[in-house]
Structure 1
Amino acid sequence: VGGSPGHESPGPGDKKRVKRSHLPKQFVVGISYAARIPLRSVALALQGSDSDHAQDALRVLDIVLRQQQAKRGCLLVRQSFFSDDSRNLVDLTGGVSGCRGLHSSFRTTMNGLSLNMDVSTTMIVTPGPVVNFLLTNQNVRDVRDIDWPKAKRMLKNLRVKATHNNMEFKIIGLSDQPCSRQTFPMKVRSGSSEGQTVDITVEEYFKSKQVFLEKPYLPCLDVGKPKRPNYLPIELGNMISLQRYTKALSSQQRTTLVEKSRQKPQDRMRVVTDAVKSNRYDDDPIFSSCGIKIDSQLTRVEGRVLSAPMLVVGNSQDCVPFKGRWNYNNKKLFEPVRIERWAIVNFSARCDMSRISRELINCGRTKGIIIEGPYSLVDEDNQARRCAPIVRVERMFEKVKANLPGPPEFLLCVLPERKNCDIYGPWKKKNLHEMGIVTQCIVPSAKMNDQYFTNVLLKINAKLGGMNSKLALEHSRQIPVINKIPTIILGMDVSHGSPGRSDIPSIAAVVGSRCWPLISRYRASVRTQSPKVEMIDSLFKPLDNGKDDGIIRELLLDFYTTSQQRKPEQIIIFRDGVSESQFSQVLNLEVDQIIKAYQNMGQGPPPKITVIIAQKNHHTKLFQADAPDNVPAGTVVDKGIVHPKQYDFYMCAHAGPIVGHLKAHPLSCLA
């Protein structure tokens, strides 16, 4: 870089050049004994015995799996591995590719030790010239149109290979000047004398090494150290393959990834079985020494199919499910609201607001929702579209206030794009947090038909206090476990910032049922907490005056006031987003807070508590043995592949896509 393979281009602060030695060096590597992990503990765990070493032993076996793939040059991401085979890459545009790989991990099940294997996908930077990556990433055609501050943020910490010497480097930034003007001090020897230090441009240096730049007007990649820059002309850099892309995807990239990642069940099953055979696990010396042999065929298990629950909608009409789906066509909502004060605001340049208003009102009429004409249709000024998102929101809100005679019940907001829209967050914060105004955001679509507006109205009706439907069993009070005992149902989850954003607080949200014996009405409570922390720490929050300002007290008080002044004698908790290793933390940290919040509200016997943990981010897939289709909605598997001791089961609660796979959601009952 900056010259021959053995030299660097020093920065302005260096007094002299440092020549690297090409002599071999000796290194001393120390290997220390860590621990003895008895693999017999796995056998004990399979028999149902508690073993402190069972998870450690499984972790050792997983490491063997990872090591096997590392030797093949695969990218390792937790328990998944990815190769750079071009057949596994899916172009998502923007310099990003989806890379198909495989997940593999060992699990203890009722059937014994099992290898859990599944198709996995991660995002990587598309390999190739850095210049091409930037052009694609910023969607421009000419290098002169590249936004270099944005490029600097995008390139930081990525690795490149220099085309003139095949050396690999990590990018820490960009040069302030183009190659033709960026200088660095270089010591010039004159015979046997020390010589003198002169400033030389990067372009001149490479020309002296017979490397002629075609685009010297472009900046250099800084591949050195923070206080010792090392310049590589950007045109000489190639992105190294299998580098993870951790930033959020655009809506178009998400759509492309979903469309190109779909596989028919039989295709997915074939990929997994072929991978097991090609990996030749039985030839691994460590597995052989442990007496582990892996069957090349998928495990066969028995399941059962539960009937889909019936719903009751408006006029006490039954809503009969079909293949795990409920359709609201030609049906009124159970408790529709009336909307009188509302408006439409438009941030999109490709939107017919009059049509949206007309279609929404007509669709609402068929669902029983009486919607008056909107106060106003507010378009964003063309000049404002070039402003920052927060400025756009503030200007739009001022325009809304000027056009409306009073505060609206809700605002329908038309966004320019679906996912990761910069306006969405500031708009929601302004309306919900600062002004207390309910909003519903939509995106213009070619499929804005009756089904589209029905889905929008289902959200609007619920947000404004209406009820779309009830369970038929709930309507007829035929759920004894809930109807006989005052019961509150809690749903708990934590949302984290996008990958790579450790500065964004996590959001803890809890919903609690109200109006017992109903279970279809809920109140929500939200708190922020430390970034990337999964356990909720604000369920019980005692203040200095002894009062509780936590989430649970808020929900318990609401339950009490809407349920004939009765405290819940039973609490059913649905917890989402925690891994198996965090089950004990849910019991020790979160359930403990719930008990304290309950006790803080007064005397009385402690409630019965049931904790049900639902997991989605796993890799257990179910296939029909004798049919090419997905397993039917309502399929339950509660033996064979479940935990040998814990009470858990797999449920496919929804209908799968036409061509795709159906993921079973494991639910574990902890208490």
Structure 2
Amino acid sequence: MSMKALIVAGEKPLEQINNASTPIRVPMKRFGIGSRGKRIPLLTNHFKVGVNKYTDDFYHYSIAMQYDDGTPVEGKGIGCKVLDQIKEIYGMELANKEFAYDGEKSLFTVGQLPHKRLDFMIVLDDMSLSRSGGSRRGYFLEEREGDRKRVKQSFGSKTIKVQFNFAAIIPMQAIANALRGQDSDHFQEAVRVLDIILRQNAAKQGCLLVRQSFFHNKPRSFIELGGGVLGCRGLHSSFLATQGGLCLNMDVSTTMILKPGPVVNFLIENQNVKTPYQIDWTKAKRMLKNLKIVTYASKKEYKITGLSDKPCRQQTFFLKSKKGQNGDGVEITVCEYFAQYKQMQLRDSADFPCINVGKPKKPSYFPLELCDLVSLQRYTKSLSNIQRASLVEKSRQKPQERMSTLRDALRSSKYEADVMLRSAGISIGIELMQVEGRVLSAPNLKVGNGDVIFPRNGRWNFNNKKLVDPVKLERWAVVNFSARCDIRYLVDTMIKCGDMKGISIKPPFGVFEESIQNRRQSAPVRVEKMFEYIKPKLPGPPQFLLCILPERKNSEIYGPWKRKNLSDIGIATQCIAPTKVNDQYITNVLLKINAKLGGMNSLLTMEHSPSLPLVSKSPTLILGMDVSHGSPGQSNMPSIAAVVSSRHWPWISRYRAAVRTQSPKVEMIANLFKPVSDEEDQGIVKELLLDFYNTSNYRKPEQIIIFRDGVSESQFNQVLNLELDQIIKACKFIDESWSPKFMVIIAQKRHHTKFFQAGGSSDNVPPGTIVDNKVCDPRNNDFYLCSHAGMIGTSRPTHYHVLYDELGFSVDDLQELVHSLSYVYQRSTTAVSLVAPICYAHLAAAQMSQFIRFDEMSETASSQGSVTVAGDVPVQELPRLHKNVVNSMFFC
């Protein structure tokens, strides 16, 4: 019976599937550590934390602040000012307790305060309320039974009522329990308090705080990116429970800030103009809104609310007369006011709008040339390609440099002098922790003519070697979109290199150059006109099209071209933008082309044998799952879920992708299972199961290994109990008696653990370095693997979490499998830092996102339709891949 027949025959009502009682799954515990590989001493950026077990517990108090009229106090920094003053004036009444304040509604102390509820009334002047750089002068009024202190309110001040209410006790014992691998509900709360203490320490030094990172206002930390934007290098810090005890994980972190200094200079750089007279003031108004400035006139800090409608020499306001002078006042321009009353003659900015720091109905103007942007203001918009490349290049640090930066940061932070840390019984070491790693041997690779390649340092090449399964390229053409390129030399080199690698390449049908008059058209129109031009000139449907793009990065042609080929027509295509054509470049291109057309470049020798532990014995499906989200500023862009699956078992080097859109910023994959018979869309898992069945001698997988990327620890239970449930339901929907065994592994790259070679080596850790002790979780089954060779910067290992295992892998066999899957990536001749199925899921999501990137959302939605997913949010639907390419590795 075919798989399709099985799907129809085995379909069960959704109620039967949903009503099946499923126990809640929890992440599995560690059952041992590995032993294979050469042992190697390492250092890591974890710093030992000492905890005094006799210290008092943390006490949590909720904070309520409101003005006299009952309006809640809002605005960053006000709460800190209020609590600073309360601590300063009423320390004795509060038992001289130090506070750890989260900046919002929670305050923590070591040991309890004298009362469970405390009420205060304070008076802060307007300068303290509105400007962090203003006066800290304040007047307080506290009223309790039998005790009343009266003070006079200053002009322009506001009264604030403050209430402390006891909320909870956070026992310090929770930390010790977690370190022993015991369940501890309060551990994360205790660690959160410690993180808040470090943030508070950084805030007192004037740092910019971004989540768990802090950034000093030091010019040597700034990286010039252009466009008025700086990269600012700082430090990330977080407390972690590990097998080696409580640690502080500290790492170098980078954020983007606006370039401080004169506002005029910033606008010139930001808009890439030469003089202030070329500034687009509409764009400037959007860019400057809500930014902070300091003025030469008052030396005070203000927030920009807008720009004036008229230039300084024309913008007027009403100047009230001083007491004792005749008349109510006079209408005066901003220019005249600063000249007469501030003795400041304005130069160029007299012709420019004024900066408004007041309210819409009560504006307050300053000339542009008298304003400087305050330092450490975050830039949250998307970076340009040039800025992004510059950030990556300039923020890299070699291992020795990074270690030196971290050691200096620990010494200069002087955590040993922090009163709150001392009172909590916390001490932080200043030396990087030592840890033992192991270096796994690289797997051998099978190539053409029975040859075997032995990778060295995570790399190999095809010099004098042929691909294991080369294709024949017989019907193809070259399409050139205005790129300057010696196409004859390019084609000749391709044919020559292809012959050396075993790929038989015949001369192309033709080379089609874009017409000059089409170059000014929109990208979709250029693509359509190109196909109108080449279609009648081809003798038949081409097997492949080579597209030469005019730009190396993010060409506007790329998305429409891929969409036309892969969705509308069904032709495999490779886009290139060559700057230098040589044998190495062409070989890399041929690797991608061969994989896209169904060939294979290399295989693992144990995959070819086959002798992979467990995987070779039973039909095994390997899934790589990832969700890609829109860039900052693209809040309406749908998220794209991509799942790739292995095919042709017992091989684990061939993959196929299924991609769907879903609601923006939703991480859990929504379309894994659809409980209906839908020829158009059977759900991701059914689509991939059908493909596995048809390519693996009509056998259903008895084992399914899932690699999931992009989720944090807080989402592990959702992966285990939502996504895995959907996959199981898809299997049961096909055949209720079918019960494959599952393994679920999470891969994380967004962490801050780094490893360094001990003994002063300046090199990165060798590829294959694995660590599953000391810095790993004291309870759960996780390990770090650096499978690739870090050539520049400091290598970032992948953190793998084994959540679920019904297959029964030994520790060493599982780690070997994960390591080996870093060597089956067909696009390159290097080991990759993530298992190949996840890398392919990244590529598939990124490529399909190009289908909609250059379309107007409304136009695409109306022509392609939309789909509604969880939460009844209409989401733009991706065009379907053409049947000719849907089973290919189009993403390579």
Separation (CA, whole Å) in 1 of partners of 2:281 and 2:204: 38
Measured in 2, the distance between the counterparts of 1:435 and 1:244 equals: 45
Offset from partner CA, 1:3-53 (integer Å, 9 cap, x none): xx99xxxxxxxxxxxxxx953333223344343222211110111111111
Tell me the equivalent position of 1:667: 800
The percent of aligned pairs where both chains have the same amino acid is 60
In structure 2, the residue matched to 1:139 is: 272
Q: Which residue of 2 aligns with 1:635?
A: 769
**Whole-angstrom distance in 1 between the partners of 2:663 and 2:800:** 27
- Match of 1:489, as an amino acid? I
Q: Structure 1 residue 538 and structure 2 residue 671: aligned?
A: yes
Distance 1:432 1:151 in 2: 41
User: Which range moved further: 403-412 or 334-343?
Assistant: 403-412
Please tell me whether residue 271 in structure 1 is matched to residue 405 in structure 2.
Answer: yes
User: What is the one-letter code of the residue matched to 1:429?
Assistant: R
Q: 1:111 — aligned with what? A: 244
Cα gap change, 1:203/1:376 in structure 2, threshold over 3 Å: closer, same or farther? farther
Contact 2:318–2:329 (8 Å) recurs in 1? no
Q: How does 1:44-63 map to 2 (within 5 A)?
A: 44-63=177-196
- Alignment of 1:498 with 2:631, yes or no, is yes
Instruction: Indicate if the aligned counterparts of 2:483 and 2:548 stay in contact, CA closer than 8 A.
Output: no
Superposed displacement of residue 91, structure 1: 1.0
C-alpha offsets along residues 576-623 of structure 1, whole Å, 9 cap, x if unaligned?
Answer: 111122111111111111111111111324111101111111111111
Deviation of the 1:474 alpha carbon:
0.2
**Counterparts of residues 194-593 of structure 1 (less than 5 Å):** 203=335, 209=341, 210-221=344-355, 223=357, 232-347=366-481, 349-381=483-515, 384-401=518-535, 404=538, 406-445=540-579, 447-543=580-676, 549-593=682-726
1:286-307 residue CA offsets vs partner (Å, 9 max, x unmatched): 2222322212111111111100
2:485 and 2:679 mapped to 1: Cα distance? 53
The offset of 1:172, in angstroms, is: 5.5
Contact 1:548 1:600 in 2 (8 A): no
Aligned amino acid, residue 105 of structure 1: S
For residues 643 and 279 of structure 2, the distance between their equivalents in structure 1, rounded to whole angstroms, comes to 44
Instruction: Quote the offset at 1:502 in angstroms.
Output: 1.8
Q: State the SS of the aligned residue for 1:30.
A: strand
Distance 1:548 1:441 in 2: 29
Amino acid at match of 2:787: A
Q: Structure 1 residues 599 and 208, CA, compared in 2 at 3 Å: closer, same or farther?
A: farther
What amino acid sits opposite 1:124 in the alignment? I
Structure-1 residue corresponding to 2:785:
651
- Contact residue 505 and residue 530 of structure 1 kept, 8 A: yes
Contact 1:250–1:420 under 8 Å retained in 2: no
The code of the aligned residue for 2:783 comes to F
Alpha-carbon distance between aligned partners in 1 of 2:336 and 2:517, rounded to the nearest angstrom: 45
Match of 1:596 among 718, 729, 732: 729
Deviation of the 1:278 alpha carbon = 1.4
Task: Judge conservation of contact 1:540–1:548 (CA < 8 Å) in 2.
Answer: no
Larger radius of gyration: 2
**1:122 alignment counterpart:** 255
| 1:624 matched to 2:757 | yes
Change beyond 3 A, Cα 1:340–1:126: farther
Q: 1:171 Cα deviation (Å)?
A: 4.5
Report the Cα distance in structure 2 between the residues aligned to 1:219 and 1:431, rounded to whole angstroms: 50
* Alpha-carbon offset, residue 317 of structure 1: 1.7
| Aligned counterpart, 1:78 | 211
Question: How far did residue 644 of structure 1 move?
Answer: 0.3
Distance 1:180 1:363, change over 3 A: farther
- Give the secondary-structure state (helix, strand or coil) at the position aligned to 1:301: strand
How far off is 1:124 after superposition? 1.8
TM-fit CA distance, 1:538: 1.2
Instruction: Pick closer, same or farther for the CA change 1:597–1:331 going to 2, 3 Å.
Output: same
Deviation at 1:634, TM superposition (A): 0.5
Q: Letter of the 1:607 partner, please give it.
A: P
Distance 1:416 1:207, change over 3 A: farther
**Per the alignment, do residues 667 and 545 of structure 1 end up closer, same or farther by CA in structure 2, a change over 3 Å counting?**
closer
Contact 1:542–1:548 (8 Å) recurs in 2: no
8 Å Cα contact 1:548-1:597 kept in structure 2? no
382 and 127 in structure 1: CA distance in 2 versus 1, 3 angstrom threshold: farther
Q: Conserved in 1, the CA contact under 8 Å of 2:468 and 2:602? A: yes
Amino acid at match of 1:275: A
Maintained 8 Å contact 2:293/2:301:
yes
Distance in 2, matches of 1:408 and 1:231, equals: 66
Deviates more, 1:163-172 or 1:539-548: 539-548
In angstroms, what is the RMSD of aligned CA positions?
3.0
Structure 2: how far apart are the matches of 1:239 and 1:390? 41
One-letter identity of the residue aligned with 1:441: C
User: Which residue pairs with 2:875 in the alignment?
Assistant: none
TM superposition shift of 1:476:
0.8
Shifted more, 543-552 versus 420-429: the winner is 543-552
Q: TM-score, normalised by structure 1?
A: 0.88
Distance in 1 between the 2:552 and 2:296 partners?
A: 39
For 2:798 and 2:545, the matched residues in 1 are separated by 36
Unaligned runs of 5+ in 2: 1-125, 128-153, 805-892
Answer with 236-245 or 221-230: which moved more: 221-230
1:321-342 superposed Cα distances (whole Å, 9 cap, x missing partner): 1101122233222222223343
Partner of 2:460, secondary structure, is: coil
- 1:316-375 per-residue CA deviation (whole Å, 9 max, x = no partner) reads 221221101122233222222223343444445544444433333332232222333334
Shift of 1:111: 0.6
CA shift for structure 1 position 192: 5.5
The answer to whether the 8 Å contact 2:444/2:604 transfers is yes
2:407, 2:783 → 1: CA distance? 24
Distance 1:225 1:381 in 2: 55
Query: Could you report, residue by residue, the CA deviation over 1:127-148 in whole angstroms, capped at 9, with x for unpaired residues?
Result: 2223322333343323444455
In structure 1, how many angstroms separate the alpha carbons of the residues matched to 2:240 and 2:413? 18
Q: Distance in 1 between matches of 2:525 and 2:391?
A: 32
Query: Cα distance 1:165–1:359, how it changes in 2: closer, same or farther (>3 A)?
Result: farther
Q: Distance in 2 between matches of 1:383 and 1:207?
A: 56
Structure-2 change in CA distance of 1:184 and 1:535 (3 Å): farther
The 8 Å contact of residues 173 and 223 in structure 1, kept in 2 or not, is answered as yes
The CA distance in 1 between the partners of 2:769 and 2:673, in whole Å, is 37
Q: How far off its partner does 1:501 sit?
A: 2.5
* Local SS of the residue matching 1:481: coil
Question: Which residue is 1:9 aligned to?
Answer: none
Q: Where does residue 843 of structure 2 map in the other structure?
A: none
The CA distance in 2 between the partners of 1:29 and 1:388, in whole Å, is 60
Check the 8 A contact 2:199/2:212 in 1, yes or no. yes
CA contact 2:731–2:738 (8 Å) conserved in 1:
no
CA distance in 2, matches of 1:509, 1:68: 42
2:293/2:303 contact within 8 Å kept: yes
1:608 aligns with 2:741: yes
User: Secondary structure of the equivalent of 1:482?
Assistant: coil
Aligned to 2:169: 36
- Identify which range, 360-369 or 275-284, moves more after superposition: 360-369
2:159 maps to 26
